[in-house]
Structure 1
């Protein structure tokens, strides 16, 4: 467009020069006729001045056109560099989301195919960490970004320079998870609803995961409308019946585990037999107590739930449930932002990569 405009201006100037030349030719003839050689000299000087001015105008116009063309070229190259950088960042966005095209995941157990964290009924679930071992989310370092993007420099560039809203949402989720863990730890330190029961042959007492087990039930009670204490009693019984029993003959112990689903079970109560009740190392004698210990454990757990109902609500549990609700909304927002950035044609913001690729217009 600029080039065609420039050609028209040049033709216009040439037309003006030809017209002026004809005018001055006529004036020169007239001046020579009336004034002689003196008139021609004045005309010559005037013509030279006009021609010089015309050449200056023509040169200035040509220079302006060239500068405009250079600016356009620089802008186009910089636009292409930004587009290429956007595509590089978009790859990270798609990997972080995990399933932006809403395709059916390859893993039949994974109904979402997402690579973002999640909120379960009573806990956080980290983004995929690359470990396929059966473990609890809390036993690994919680992360909002999947392991494939750990330390990725372009993702860091995206968060720092091109997507501040993504960075803020990521940091919000991380802070909410820390708040939840702090509330849970505070609850576990002060929780004393477990019951120790002594019989003629053994002592029944809570095991390591008992407090956490009760915490999860109480959080679900706060978050699920259909959950009540009768429901907790039913789930306690079901998980104990579906759980497994472990024997440690050398220590004369029977461990009662609750089935937590997903192939996971944790010891919630244990029975330590008195010395002389069984011979050391005799597992079969321990097995004779299995049914009795399990029934006794269920009876004790019913009393525990009664205590929970009496002391309900627990301040830390109520706050923890609120944190999970807030985190659930924040994770939804994270997914929406990732989908939004996946659809953006160009990412805003500057960074060192664009600075290195930038073409100056000077």
Structure 2
């Protein structure tokens, strides 16, 4: 036969009661011998009061023990529930980062789902939609996102940012703000920048729609110290220069770099001009020299104009963006290593 748990916990207290009961019995015998029934009656009343008090104390002790056991069990269940919810949120942290075991600052290649900063732009976190053309240049700039597409609309990821990792939410929003500021400066520069249209004897030189964007990237790479020092002029910061005559008698001035090919100037042959191949080859050389001159003049002109401030701000924003993304990665690694995530939410409330 097993002994009740409460008896074991109060064994000393019960032993004391037994000893006290034995002592009271002996005391009752002495009182009866000296004072008779009157003394015994008074003694019984006193003993009854003492026993009532003892029972009240015993009941209070037992109630206290049960309450402590209940609170301990509630804390254990709450910790188990929070542990389970933390693991659910940790999976979102891993998915956002891509590889939390990757050492920060390591040069080792790793698959990350974080946004990044290239030489001249912000790049979204990993998404399913990719648009590229020759040379790896992005054809269409999709909407910028700090989080991978798989987490967009995820209810637990929203819970993570809103209730358990508000610092991650602030970092995410700051990077989004920086991207928007960068886009605003880029658009303002491109809209205010133009190349000159020049009429020559045999053709008309016109800048293309890509010209302003190319100038923006060129200045930005210079400001961020990303230009090749072995090339003499900024217009030579392209690896290859080439000209091309298409079927509509337009000579295109192409530039090629690690970011793809840009057509920055076209030379439109005048309607009354007819050239043979040798003459076209000579004209291509003239177009190349003339467009180089125009580019240099444009660069010098822009540096003295107000719109150049957009270049300075864009470079500053990209530099800050790099730092913010590094901080974001650091925070994600820290959260991945935390045993439990603080904060309350509807999922924990429902479990409790």
TM-score (norm 1): 0.83
Looking at structure 2, the residues matched to 120 and 81 of structure 1 have their Cα atoms a distance apart, in angstroms, of 42
- Relative distance call for 1:351 and 1:259 in structure 2 (3 A) is same
> Any residues of structure 2 matched to 1:1-362 within 5 Å, and which?
10-102=10-102, 111-134=109-132, 136=138, 139-192=141-194, 194-224=195-225, 230-236=232-238, 238-241=239-242, 245=244, 247=246, 249=247, 251-261=248-258, 264-277=260-273, 289=280, 292-293=283-284, 296-309=287-300, 311-312=302-303, 314-358=308-352
Looking at structure 1, the residues matched to 328 and 293 of structure 2 have their Cα atoms a distance apart, in angstroms, of 41
CA contact (8 A) 2:164 2:342 kept: yes
Shift of 1:12: 2.3
Shift of 1:201: 3.4
Q: List alignment gaps of at least 5 residues for structure 2.
A: none
CA contact (8 A) 2:186 2:314 kept: yes
CA displacement, residues 113-166 of structure 1 (integer Å, 9 cap, x when unaligned): 211111111211111221233162862101111111111111111111111111
The residue aligned with 1:282 is none
Query: Which stretch has the larger CA shift, 13-22 or 179-188?
Result: 13-22
Shift of 1:66: 1.1
CA contact (8 A) 1:125 1:137 kept: no
Looking at structure 2, the residues matched to 308 and 231 of structure 1 have their Cα atoms a distance apart, in angstroms, of 11
- Relative distance call for 1:290 and 1:210 in structure 2 (3 A) is farther
Shift of 1:297: 3.5
- Relative distance call for 1:294 and 1:324 in structure 2 (3 A) is farther
- Relative distance call for 1:225 and 1:261 in structure 2 (3 A) is closer
Looking at structure 1, the residues matched to 309 and 44 of structure 2 have their Cα atoms a distance apart, in angstroms, of 102
RMSD, aligned α-carbons: 2.9
Instruction: Give SS of 1:36's match.
Output: helix
Query: Which stretch has the larger CA shift, 49-58 or 221-230?
Result: 221-230
Residue-pair matches, total:
337
Looking at structure 1, the residues matched to 147 and 278 of structure 2 have their Cα atoms a distance apart, in angstroms, of 47
Shift of 1:53: 1.9
- Relative distance call for 1:43 and 1:278 in structure 2 (3 A) is farther
Looking at structure 1, the residues matched to 131 and 18 of structure 2 have their Cα atoms a distance apart, in angstroms, of 89
CA displacement, residues 9-48 of structure 1 (integer Å, 9 cap, x when unaligned): 6222222212221222122112221222222222222222
Instruction: Give SS of 1:230's match.
Output: coil
TM-score (norm 2): 0.85
